[in-house]
Amino acid sequence: MTDRYCVIGNPVAHSRSPAIHARFAAQCHQDLSYEAILAPLDGFAATIGDFAATGGKGANVTLPFKEEAFGLCSRRSARAERAGAVNTLAFGRNEIFGDNTDGAGLVRDIEVNLGFPLAGRRVLLLGAGGAARGVIAPLLERQPAGLSVANRSGDKAETLAGQFSDLATVNAGNFAKTTGRTFDVVINATSASLSGATLPLPAGIFASGSLAYDMMYGKGETPFLALAREQGAARLADGLGMLVEQAAEAFLVWRGVRPDSAQVLAELREQLPA
């Protein structure tokens, strides 16, 4: 029987995960199907329950459900525990296992695909939702010179940063709190680009030679990347590489084999120019 997987979110129609996992499955000769499922905002647990009860083997979780997914798991990986958010679920006979592959995907995209080492860099992470949670510890593991988190609701950023205080001092607050500071890497982990909103970032945050990275993908130049270009960021990147790399990690969790992510990223890039 073909094993069933899915991505669950709201919205979810824009997701490229089905295309990615179909390519991984073909590449690794795995018999599986992968679909996108829209869950009502108040119906995530029920949607997951239905999928698992009808033979689903695993699911990716996208916005805004990653923190809710964490609460549904009976067992979690160390990196999911650390993140407090889950983007990969595997359904066993008597358990729901949760993992978080976002951070590994982001770091691999920045350091391997983009060739931009994070060690010694000043990093600013924008956003304090499920995606931001998943990437803080993996970013800190790369030994940056410092990590700051800025969010529309500054108190949410402060609470989030506090959860990693045993690893490092993470500066946190609203966007205005970054005024007068410069960064080598600025990562947009807000969903503002989904609605085409521009973030109210102070001028001068992009250091010379800096990388501006938007986790959003498939929207061409987002308002965040346009602002970064105008403010002198040297390199601009969308989140397509992160998407492919976090998917490869999830595929490894589910199937025990790591696909060739570089080949799939190159194929998708032809369809979705940055």
Piece of 52-60, 110-118, 127-135, 163-171 that binds ligand NDP (CB under 6 A): 127-135
CA distance from start to end of the chain: 38
161-190 footprint of ligand NDP as x/- string (CB under 6 A): ----------------------------xx
How far apart CA 213 and CA 149 sit, in angstroms, is 14
Nearest residue (CB) to ligand NDP, 95 versus 267: 267
Nearest residue (CB) to ligand NDP, 143 versus 198: 198
Q: Order the strands of the 88-91 sheet from edge to edge.
A: 32-38, 3-9, 56-61, 88-91, 96-99, 75-76
Q: Give the nearest distance from C-beta 151 to ligand NDP in angstroms.
A: 5
Piece of 114-122, 205-213, 226-234, 241-249 that binds ligand NDP (CB under 6 A): 241-249
Binding to ligand NDP by residue 192, rule CB under 6 A?
yes
Binding to ligand NDP by residue 226, rule CB under 6 A?
no
In the set 66, 156, 177, 219, the catalytic residue is 66
Binding to ligand NDP by residue 191, rule CB under 6 A?
yes
**Inter-CA distances, 52 with 33, 43, 55, 66, Å:** 14, 14, 5, 17
- In three-state secondary structure terms, 88 is strand
Binding to ligand NDP by residue 213, rule CB under 6 A?
no
- Specify which residues 206 forms β-bridges with: 183
Q: Order the strands of the 206-214 sheet from edge to edge.
A: 171-173, 146-150, 122-126, 183-188, 206-214, 235-237
- At 34, which helix (H) or strand (E)? strand 32-38
Among 8, 25, 124, 216, binds ligand NDP (CB under 6 A): 216
Binding to ligand NDP by residue 215, rule CB under 6 A?
yes
Q: Give the nearest distance from C-beta 271 to ligand NDP in angstroms.
A: 16
Nearest residue (CB) to ligand NDP, 95 versus 230: 230
Instruction: Write out the binding residues for ligand NDP, residues 1-40 only, by CB under 6 A.
Output: none
User: Which amino acid is present at 47?
Assistant: T
Specify whether 177 is catalytic: no
User: For residues 184 and 122, is the Cβ–Cβ distance under 8 A?
Assistant: yes
Binding to ligand NDP by residue 156, rule CB under 6 A?
yes
Kind of pairing between the strands at 3-9 and 32-38: parallel
- At 113, which helix (H) or strand (E)? none
Nearest residue (CB) to ligand NDP, 14 versus 75: 14
- Point out the residues that are catalytic: 66
Residues contributing to the site for ligand NDP (CB under 6 A): 63-64, 66, 102, 105, 127-132, 151-153, 156, 189-192, 194, 197, 199, 215-217, 239, 242-243, 246
